[in-house]
Amino acid sequence: MREDHKNVLVLLTCGVVLMASLAYASVPIYRIFCQKTGYGGTPTLGKMNTGVVINNRIIKVKFNSDVAPHLPWEFEPLQSYIHLKAGENGLAFYRVRNNSNEPVSGIATYNVTPDKAGIYFNKVQCFCFIEQTLDPGKWVEMPVQFFIDPELAKDSNLKDVTSITLSYTFFPTKTAKSARHNIQIHSIGDKNV
Amino acid sequence: MNEHTPHEHTPKGWRRWLLSTNHKDIGSMYLIFSIIGGIAGLIFSIVIRMQLAHPGGTVLGGNHQLYNVFITSHALIMIFFAVMPGLIGGFGNWFVPLLIGAPDMAFPRLNNISFWLMIPALIMAGLSTVVGMGAGTGWTMYPPLSSLTGHPDMAVDFLLFSLHLAGVSSILGSLNFITTIINMRAPGMDFFKMPLFVWTILVTSALLLITLPVLAGGITMLITDRNFGTTFFDPSGGGDPVLFQHLFWFFGHPEVYVIILPAFGIISQIISTFSKKPVFGYVSMVYAILSIGVIGCGVWAHHMFTVGLSPSATVYFSAATMVIAVPTGIKVFSWLATMWGGSIRFDTPMLFATGFILLFTLGGLTGVVLSNGGMNIVLHDTYYVVGHFHYVLSMGAVFGLFGGFYYWISKICGRQYPEIWGRIHFWMLFIGVNMIFIPMHFVGYNGMPRRIPDYPQAFAPMNYIASIGAYLTAFSTLIFLGVALYTVFRGKKAQSNPWGVGATTLEWTLPSPPPYHTFETPPHIGGDLHEHK
């Protein structure tokens, strides 16, 4: 192979490998990006409440719950909404119940709507941080502790925000083996409906 | 191999094609492949228009998944198996070495595998339509529709592997083009003397090298999500389906420039030849190509205005997208200025080139409308979008393909096409495609969603016109096939330069068809190629 051909080929191949690695690197980068910026309604975690309360900024926080179709759980918030001042600590409860006759594990994902409020919605303590395993027929009440960053009052983009919806979806904990299996059973079930 | 007489070495029979390392033979195979792909894609689109000809269409027997499959296959086949092999593989292989005075591509064997990878890729794409429920994901393949939730059987896996193969083929081809263009230019052929078609192939190849690995990463994640229990795009395992959209469009948007840039190049050559003038503003044309390539890599999220981007991201992606209208406008005005005062001959290639300028500009204008994040929320996923991108691709890229065909076919096969039938083909196609896509803007603006096999009565007249236009287009394609076959087997023997003084690039100095090996001794390029005498 001509030397100059080889040089160009090596250089370009490095570029291809670099871009392919960037595609994979984008997975953690994107996650960190969402957490840092509240992108896509990702709430902020692990921030301490400074204790500053903005008395004239009251937000209605609504609670929503969903369960993935193939998880035999019942999942609901115990209050449909609360009113909260920006900077004030909030506490809410959800109840989840395993309706099947075998122990099932699940984990909840969460986000807030509107998306742009994500960066100001701080979760202090949440059941969604850990996997939950429920025995058949058992139920459990789970707390979520949060506050709304008082900085929200200063952001002109959020002037129109009077309510924020906190939403959870419970999914069965995924294992490699069960993935295709679960879905197939589910889709057969669909055809009968 | 026959080391002693490489000049006379011309393999015969099937070996000539299967084992081919000759850029002209590989280019010809790509062109034939592209025509076959184009026919397949056209058949899918005709069935789509038959289904949509009347409200409550029953052509597909009420099988709406089948409709999704047709939509998906139409797009993927047209993009990966018709336009790309035609413009890049076909004309690129044939004419990049000829235009720069190189004896062949830098890596002839790599060129061979680039082509032959396309065959299994097309077969797998075909299988994806018939296996199980078929792949009805749209060409965008968003999860969860493309995950096991939406498509539990193997169809989508076939589609993804097909794209992998086509992607590897394109990456290898791009490596080859870039190396050829950088290292194998004839003495005196400086970068800024290269014909614009070579420039467009260079930038297109660079775009492919940058973006295809990202698509490959994204679809590999989808494959492992589907088959090996990873959760890159599955929220239940901490993944995010929107990430796929970012990865896909990081490839998908530059891909539209990959498709259109070589068409720009062909149009530039044609306009210059038939106006008998050098391209107006050659250097600014080159910089326009480069800046379209660079900016085109940073605007991908304008396909995703409805996923909940922050206002500042929307502003950025809207503005950056609009900025692309500047270099594109430079190109359009330069083409017009090239024609201005020229002694223009409206042979078929020039008809396609002027048709291209008009229709591509219309598509560009609706593109500026869509680039606005606020407008886009309203028009997103309507037929307005379908009308827009068919104006730039179906009339842009495909007119470039046909223009290139009529411009270069005498050089490729040594026979000239029948002029009158070329013109009939052009006018039928021109009327046909406008009948299809103008009405789409109207129904789309009024809210008709894309990828839905039915619509309310109010949209019936416009859809009927579009379907008639589609039938006319199909008929014009039959004429094209007739013209192509007639030209190749019965056409009038062509001179080395059928276009006269306007045709100043190197390929016209060679006999038609050129000998199997050309420019073994590099030609010397004197003076400025773009200054016509």
Q: Are residues A17 and A75 in the same domain?
A: no
Report whether pLDDT(B532) > 60: no
Q: Do B148 and A183 touch (CB under 8 A)?
A: yes
Exposed e or buried b for every residue in B472-490, given b needs 16+ CB within 10 A? Answer: bbbebbebbeebbeebbee
Q: Are residues A33 and A46 in the same domain?
A: no
Q: Are residues A79 and A121 in the same domain?
A: yes
Angstrom distance (rounded) from CA B335 to CA B279: 7
Sort out which chain A residues have CB atoms less than 8 A from B310's CB and list them.
37, 39, 115-116
Report whether pLDDT(B272) > 70: yes
Instruction: Single out the catalytic residue among B94, B199, B257, B300.
Output: B257
pLDDT on residue B452: 94
Mutation pick from A7, A32, A112, A174 vs chain B, by most beta carbons of B within 10 Å, is A174
Q: pLDDT tens digit string along B165-223? A: 999 999 999 999 999 999 999 998 999 999 999 999 999 999 999 999 999 999 999 99
* Residues of chain B that touch chain A, judged by Cβ-Cβ distance less than 8 Å: 106-107, 148-149, 152, 171, 174-175, 178-179, 182-183, 209-214, 216-218, 221, 226-229, 231-232, 234-238, 240, 242-243, 246-247, 307-308, 310-311
Higher pLDDT among residues A110 and A192, named by residue = A110
Q: Are residues A107 and A164 in the same domain?
A: yes
Residue of B nearest to A172 (CA): B236
Q: Are residues A138 and A46 in the same domain?
A: yes
Would the CA dihedral through B346, B348, B351, B356 be positive or negative?
Answer: negative
Report whether pLDDT(B278) > 50: yes
Report whether pLDDT(B528) > 70: no
Angstrom distance (rounded) from CA B453 to CA B187: 57
Q: Of B106, B87, B100, B76, which Cα lies nearest the Cα of B30?
A: B87
Residue of B nearest to A67 (CA): B236
Report which secondary-structure segment, H or E, holds A141: strand A139-148
As a whole-number percent, the residues of chain A with pLDDT over 70 amount to 87
**A92's tokens:** 């809410």
Report whether pLDDT(B376) > 90: yes
Instruction: Work out the mean pLDDT of chain A and round it to a whole number.
Output: 81
Q: Do A20 and B228 touch (CB under 8 A)?
A: no
Q: How far is CA B386 from the centre of its chain?
A: 16
Q: What angle do helix axes B64-78 and B155-183 make, rounded to 10 degrees?
A: 10
pLDDT on residue A103: 86
Establish whether B512 is a catalytic residue: no
Q: Do A30 and B229 touch (CB under 8 A)?
A: no
Lowest-pLDDT range, A93-107, B150-164, B167-181, B451-465?
Answer: A93-107
Report whether pLDDT(B109) > 50: yes
Q: pLDDT tens digit string along A124-150? A: 877 776 788 888 888 888 888 888 888
Question: What mean pLDDT do residues B500-522 have?
Answer: 91
pLDDT on residue A174: 60
Establish whether B64 is a catalytic residue: no
Q: Do B240 and A9 touch (CB under 8 A)?
A: no
Establish whether B169 is a catalytic residue: yes
Report whether pLDDT(A187) > 60: no
Vertex B467 angle, CA B465 and B473, to 5° = 105
Q: Are residues A114 and A175 in the same domain?
A: yes
Would the CA dihedral through B66, B67, B70, B72 be positive or negative?
Answer: negative
Report whether pLDDT(A183) > 60: no
Q: Are residues A168 and A122 in the same domain?
A: yes
Sort out which chain A residues have CB atoms less than 8 A from B216's CB and list them.
20, 23
Report whether pLDDT(A176) > 50: no
pLDDT on residue B467: 97
Q: pLDDT tens digit string along A112-121? A: 888 888 888 8
Contacts of B405 (CB under 8 A, 6+ apart): B31, B484
Establish whether B246 is a catalytic residue: no
Sort out which chain B residues have CB atoms less than 8 A from A107's CB and list them.
236
Report whether pLDDT(B413) > 60: yes
Q: Are residues A138 and A181 in the same domain?
A: yes
CA of A81, closest CA in chain B: separation in Å? Answer: 23
DSSP B391: I
Report which secondary-structure segment, H or E, holds B493: strand B492-493
Residue of B nearest to A176 (CA): B229
Q: Are residues A59 and A140 in the same domain?
A: yes
CA B490, B495, B501, B503: dihedral to nearest 10 degrees?
A: 70
pLDDT on residue B358: 96
Contact yes or no for A133/A103 (Cβ under 8 A) = yes
pLDDT on residue B526: 66
Instruction: Work out the mean pLDDT of chain B and round it to a whole number.
Output: 93
Report whether pLDDT(A25) > 80: yes
pLDDT on residue B331: 96
User: Which residue of A16, A116, A174 is in closest CB contact with B234?
Assistant: A174
Bridging pattern class, strands B415-416 and A139-148: unpaired
Domain that holds residue A148: 41-192
Contact yes or no for B286/B116 (Cβ under 8 A) = no
What's the structural domain count of chain A?
2
Q: pLDDT tens digit string along A39-53? A: 767 777 767 777 788
Q: pLDDT tens digit string along B423-450? A: 999 999 999 999 999 999 999 999 999 9
Predicted complex ipTM = 0.85
CA B43, B48, B54, B56: dihedral to nearest 10 degrees?
A: 130
Sort out which chain A residues have CB atoms less than 8 A from B174's CB and list them.
12
Q: Are residues A68 and A154 in the same domain?
A: yes
Q: Are residues A19 and A104 in the same domain?
A: no
First to last CA, chain A: 64
Q: Are residues A79 and A112 in the same domain?
A: yes
CA–CA distance from B190 to each of A152, B102, B183, B453 (Å)? 58, 13, 11, 53
Tell me the residue type at B191. F
Residue of A nearest to B109 (CA): A1
pLDDT on residue B13: 83
Question: What mean pLDDT do residues B371-400 have?
Answer: 94
How sure is the predictor about B469, in pLDDT bands with cuts at 50, 70 and 90? Answer: very high
Which CATH number characterizes residue A84's domain? 2.60.370.10
pLDDT on residue B509: 92
